A and B are shown apart, each in its own frame.
Chain A
Amino acid sequence: MSLWSRIANVLRGDGLSREIDEELGSHIEEAIERGRDPAEARRAFGSALQRREESRDIRLVPWLDSLRADAVFGWRQIMKRKATSAAAILSLALAIGSCTSAFRLIDALLLRPLPVANPERLYVVAFEDRGPDGKTQVYDSCSYPMFRQMRAVARGQAELIAVSYAERSDLTYGSDLEMEKAYRQFVSGWMFGAFGLRPAAGRMLTENDDDKPGASPYAVLSYEYWTRRFGQNRNVIGRTFQMGDTHFEIAGVAPESFTGTETGTVTDIFLPMAMKNPRTLASPNNFWLRTLVQLKAGIAAEPVHQMLSATYHAAEEERVKSFTAIERRRDQARQEKFLLEPAGSGRSNLQRYYRSALTALGILVALVLLIACANVANLMTAQAAARAREMALRISIGATRWRLTQLVLMESIWLAFIATAIGGLFAWWAAPFIIGMIDSPDNPARLVLPADWRVLGFGLALALGVTFVLGLGPALRASAVRPASVLKGGEDPHSRRRLMHALIAVQIAFCFVVHFAAGLFSTTFDRLSHQPTGFSAGRILNLETLPQRPQLPVYWQQVLDHLRAVPGVEKAALTVWPLMSGESAVGDISINGGAPSEVYADFLNVSPGWMDTMRIPFLGGRDFVASDANPAVAIVNQSFAKQYFDGESPIGKWFERAGPGDARSRFQVVGFVRDARSRDDMRRPIRPTAYVPFQSYVPSQSIGAKGAFMPMSRGTFVVRTSSANPLALASILRREVPNARAEFRVTNVRTQTEIDQAHTVRERLLAMLGVFFAGIALLLAGVGLYGVLDYSVLLRRKEIGIRMAIGAQAGGIARLVAVDVLSMVAAGALGGVVLGLASARYIESLFFQVKATDPAMLAIPSLTIVAAALLAALPAVIHAVRIDPVSMLRLE
């Protein structure tokens, strides 16, 4: 009660003073009224001012009051120089906002623990091996039999949970015509129990749902999906939907916080593992799930790791026994290492793909923030110099050192906190904006980005950190003023300049690093996006199509013919999946009946006219014709000829593809085409590829036996439109497909350009943000340099005037002014080169066809920065040279 009234009194400080004054005044008046002599009464009362201060200190919290007074004073200081303060605040806000955005992204993707019980005890099984290029690669896919073996072994020490990769799948709540898409994830039924998740409605899946394959067609919806699709209607419990051939019943809704274990994707529908198709469940060679390991309380990770590793290697040895000799040889070359990696923040490919990129961006924005801080610190140092007399006066009348430090720090607190508030708003907008950039329409990255205490805490910590970086140095210097020397005419002016010059060097070094990284990133993006694809993506539209049940090639052909007749369609063809979509099929190649090759070739089924539609030029031979079928004929690319035919023309040659068991299918090469990119990894060379006809015979053991055609369960119509924007035709074509044959349905429409660009999203993001931050860093460093130089000319104008009076030339004056600072710039740039080269090693994996040690990569940022430094130095030098010695000396 009393403390509150004292804190409240702090807030009405002036009112309090008036009240006390009035009370003391009424005492004197009372005395005079009672007939005392006014002068005597006043003398008897003593110093009213001293009494008032005593009473004030009693009636409020003195330290809080001095803080308030300093805050008001600091605010007035800031308002006095509106333009400078606004510039300082804006540059800080931009840097702080960028840092906070980077933190929000890094936190959401990499740091934030899953909202499950004991996330710190959650691990994921992963494997590391050395690829053919010698680089280690980590992957985490397991087969279901492997998972079950490991679970049985670890029982009692850890609970193992299988989760499939989240996939966008088609489903319908009504008829087949009302298909929609949702992210589904198969999970072990006991996952919800092990994670301690309580249903928001209905029930969660349990171990019972995972007992027998196919026995438990129940689904759990995510809260987000329940809200988005059903408006949180509780009546959906018990409703059914169809996915594939199976009807599922909705059993419940997961709690709001839980969005799945795959960070970056919000799972919509959870299904029991046992509902995956039985062939996949039983196959030891189908790797389609992640194994999460939840340690029991008090169990160490290492023994469990050893135990699971032993189980895994034993199981692998067993599995390899069914391999052919060549498969075994390939497998042995892999030398896998079994890993148990922490998965408390979930586990997703998005995390893996963006971890180093986000970290690099985080460091860049931190450097920009430090550059901005150095600017404001220099500004405050200069101001502290201008206020040295004020400080000396304050010390003379009894201010303590701590009090002066507080006075100056208060100003940086204002700057830092206003900047943080503005920066926070900026981050609020910027973080979702960046998520939007890494999004692709077909595979939206959905990252939960709450603005909660973690973000708030980071913002506060950042504000405090900035305050101290900015303010502590200048504050301590200001408070260390020795009144005698200041009143005599100033302290050693060089000590202050030395601090400012050191900060300039640091700024330049950081600026160099930012520019260096930005240069590497944009060169990488440039090289990657100019990688030849070998086909023409313009005006190509891919209609990925799923019929209700597999359809014979002749019906596919009918739909194709129908599409070709649609106005606006220039060319159309049929394949399985779009080029560079990330899907691929591989096969062994054996030449002249020899052993299968070590290197796989990619296989892609295409219809006649596909090469023409994709504009892949023939180097020899012919295109497929309507009567061609798979197997029998093939068209191969240059890499294929180089890999298997020693670069000779492949036309007329034969090769064989190993089928199941010892069966081989034989192909004659009828066409030879230029290389075209089929895989989605732009950093790897184009793979040997064999194109085979779209229509395939039912596989048969005997070579060349022509049986019935195999019905196809999926296909992609590739359309080249005559108008420049292929999407204009998208909705018409989507309708025309079922018009041609009712069983066919388009599940996805994508332009080829969109697919191609999706593979350089990360590089584009890094390049764009890198260049953006490089611009900001250069601007800030330039402004900082200009400010410091201008200030030092101001300080030395007397000296310069005297030098000029005794005959110094303009060139000499310019050198005098600029040489210190420019040597600092040189030192900073040198430091930046060392720092840049040292740090580039950690982000090498993000580069493509560019090396950090490339002279051009070092020269361009150096030249840019030196040019900017010269430009920034120019005004101050001109100012110095124009000083009029007569008026300067008269001023003194």
Chain B
Amino acid sequence: MPKPDSLQGSLDLLVLKILSRRPRLHGYAIMSAIEGMSAEVLRVEEGSLYPALHRMEEAGWIRAEWIVKDTGRRARIYELTAGGKRQLAAEESRWEAVTSAVNRVLRMA
């Protein structure tokens, strides 16, 4: 049984958004970016990040490339594709719809 995703299915959206702002990041940097920007509120479960990245890569939203870092070690970095940009827009509007709906419920209840 996979552990419940603490981000409730929004991992894709976050990864795509991060990559749209700062292209060419490796997995650890994406994770750090999500945690840093959310002021440590959102924590990415480290292991499940990679299957998600690979799934998006196979879906054609992101593309990967091996580079050699300054330290001499190899790292696999990711950037958004055109399909990824479209997907990001779709995910964002879906997220807007869901959060505003949830907010409406919270206000009215």
Q: Do A and B bind?
A: yes
Residues of A within 8 A of B (CB): 1-2, 5-6, 19-20, 22-24, 26-27, 29-31, 33-34, 44-48, 50-51, 54-55, 58-59
The answer, yes or no, to whether B76 is at the interface (CB within 8 Å) is: yes
> What are 21 A-B interface contacts by the 8 Å CB criterion?
A2-B58, A2-B60, A5-B58, A19-B76, A22-B74, A23-B27, A23-B50, A24-B50, A27-B28, A27-B46, A30-B26, A31-B46, A46-B46, A48-B47, A50-B47, A54-B51, A55-B51, A58-B51, A58-B55, A58-B58, A59-B54
Assess whether A26 is in contact with B75, with CB atoms less than 8 Å apart. yes
From A20, A23, A26, A46, B47 is in contact (CB under 8 Å) with A46
Residues from chain B with a CB closer than 8 A to the CB of A19 are 76
Report the contact-size class of chain B (Cβ under 8 Å from the partner): 20 to 34
Q: Mark B47-66, 1 if CB is under 8 A from A, else 0.
A: 11011001101111000000
For the complex, what is the distance from the CA of A19 to the CA of B28, rounded to whole Å? 16
Assess whether B47 is in contact with A55, with CB atoms less than 8 Å apart. no
Assess whether B26 is in contact with A26, with CB atoms less than 8 Å apart. yes
Assess whether A45 is in contact with B60, with CB atoms less than 8 Å apart. no
How distant is B73 from chain A, measured CB to nearest CB, in Å?
6
**Closest chain B residue to A57, Cβ basis:** B51
Assess whether A51 is in contact with B76, with CB atoms less than 8 Å apart. no
For the complex, what is the distance from the CA of A335 to the CA of B55, rounded to whole Å? 81
How distant is A61 from chain B, measured CB to nearest CB, in Å?
10
Chain B 13-59 interface residues, beta-carbon cutoff 8 Å to A: 26-29, 32, 45-48, 50-51, 54-55, 57-59
Given contact pairs A6-B58, A23-B76, A58-B55, A30 touches B28 in the complex (Cβ within 8 A)? yes
How distant is B74 from chain A, measured CB to nearest CB, in Å?
7
Given contact pairs A26-B74, A54-B51, A59 touches B28 in the complex (Cβ within 8 A)? no
Given contact pairs A2-B58, A23-B76, A59-B58, A51 touches B51 in the complex (Cβ within 8 A)? yes
For the complex, what is the distance from the CA of A580 to the CA of B75, rounded to whole Å? 89
**Closest chain A residue to B71, Cβ basis:** A33
Assess whether A31 is in contact with B28, with CB atoms less than 8 Å apart. yes
For the complex, what is the distance from the CA of A22 to the CA of B76, rounded to whole Å? 9
Q: Mark B69-87, 1 if CB is under 8 A from A, else 0.
A: 0010111100000000000
Residues from chain B with a CB closer than 8 A to the CB of A2 are 58-60
Assess whether B54 is in contact with A27, with CB atoms less than 8 Å apart. no
Residues from chain B with a CB closer than 8 A to the CB of A31 are 28, 46
From B45, B57, B75, A59 is in contact (CB under 8 Å) with B57
For the complex, what is the distance from the CA of A172 to the CA of B60, rounded to whole Å? 73
Residues from chain B with a CB closer than 8 A to the CB of A47 are 47
User: Taking chain B's interface residues, is the majority helix, strand, or loop, or is none over half, making it mixed?
Assistant: helix
Residues from chain A with a CB closer than 8 A to the CB of B59 are 2
Residues from chain B with a CB closer than 8 A to the CB of A23 are 27, 50, 76
Q: Among A26, A47, A59, which residue has the most Cβ atoms of chain B within 10 A?
A: A26
**Closest chain B residue to A44, Cβ basis:** B46
From A5, A6, A27, A44, B50 is in contact (CB under 8 Å) with A27
| Top 9 closest pairs, chain A to chain B, by CB | A46-B47, A30-B28, A54-B51, A55-B54, A23-B76, A58-B54, A45-B46, A51-B47, A58-B55
Residues from chain A with a CB closer than 8 A to the CB of B75 are 26, 30
**Closest chain B residue to A24, Cβ basis:** B50
**Closest chain B residue to A41, Cβ basis:** B46
Assess whether B46 is in contact with A26, with CB atoms less than 8 Å apart. no
**Closest chain B residue to A6, Cβ basis:** B58
For the complex, what is the distance from the CA of A47 to the CA of B45, rounded to whole Å? 12
Assess whether A51 is in contact with B74, with CB atoms less than 8 Å apart. no
Residues from chain A with a CB closer than 8 A to the CB of B55 are 58
For the complex, what is the distance from the CA of A26 to the CA of B27, rounded to whole Å? 9
How distant is A699 from chain B, measured CB to nearest CB, in Å?
95
Q: Among B45, B58, B74, which residue has the most Cβ atoms of chain A within 10 A?
A: B58
Assess whether A51 is in contact with B58, with CB atoms less than 8 Å apart. no
How distant is A886 from chain B, measured CB to nearest CB, in Å?
57
How distant is A54 from chain B, measured CB to nearest CB, in Å?
4
How distant is A57 from chain B, measured CB to nearest CB, in Å?
9
For the complex, what is the distance from the CA of A34 to the CA of B29, rounded to whole Å? 11
Residues from chain B with a CB closer than 8 A to the CB of A51 are 47-48, 50-51
Assess whether B47 is in contact with A45, with CB atoms less than 8 Å apart. yes
For the complex, what is the distance from the CA of A6 to the CA of B57, rounded to whole Å? 11
How distant is B43 from chain A, measured CB to nearest CB, in Å?
10
For the complex, what is the distance from the CA of A58 to the CA of B53, rounded to whole Å? 10
Residues from chain B with a CB closer than 8 A to the CB of A29 are 73
Residues from chain B with a CB closer than 8 A to the CB of A1 are 60
Residues from chain A with a CB closer than 8 A to the CB of B50 are 20, 23-24, 27, 51, 55
How distant is B54 from chain A, measured CB to nearest CB, in Å?
5
**Closest chain B residue to A1, Cβ basis:** B60
Residues from chain A with a CB closer than 8 A to the CB of B54 are 20, 55, 58-59
Q: Among B28, B45, B50, B59, which residue has the most Cβ atoms of chain A within 10 A?
A: B50
How distant is B47 from chain A, measured CB to nearest CB, in Å?
4
Residues from chain A with a CB closer than 8 A to the CB of B28 are 26-27, 30-31, 34
How distant is A166 from chain B, measured CB to nearest CB, in Å?
63
Residues from chain B with a CB closer than 8 A to the CB of A44 are 46
For the complex, what is the distance from the CA of A44 to the CA of B49, rounded to whole Å? 12
For the complex, what is the distance from the CA of A33 to the CA of B71, rounded to whole Å? 10
Q: Among A2, A30, A34, A48, which residue has the most Cβ atoms of chain B within 10 A?
A: A30
**Closest chain B residue to A50, Cβ basis:** B47
For the complex, what is the distance from the CA of A46 to the CA of B51, rounded to whole Å? 13
For the complex, what is the distance from the CA of A22 to the CA of B64, rounded to whole Å? 14
Given contact pairs A6-B58, A58-B58, A59-B57, A26 touches B51 in the complex (Cβ within 8 A)? no
Assess whether B27 is in contact with A27, with CB atoms less than 8 Å apart. yes
For the complex, what is the distance from the CA of A411 to the CA of B69, rounded to whole Å? 46
For the complex, what is the distance from the CA of A47 to the CA of B46, rounded to whole Å? 11
From A26, A34, A58, B73 is in contact (CB under 8 Å) with A26
How distant is B109 from chain A, measured CB to nearest CB, in Å?
37
How distant is A55 from chain B, measured CB to nearest CB, in Å?
5
How distant is B34 from chain A, measured CB to nearest CB, in Å?
14
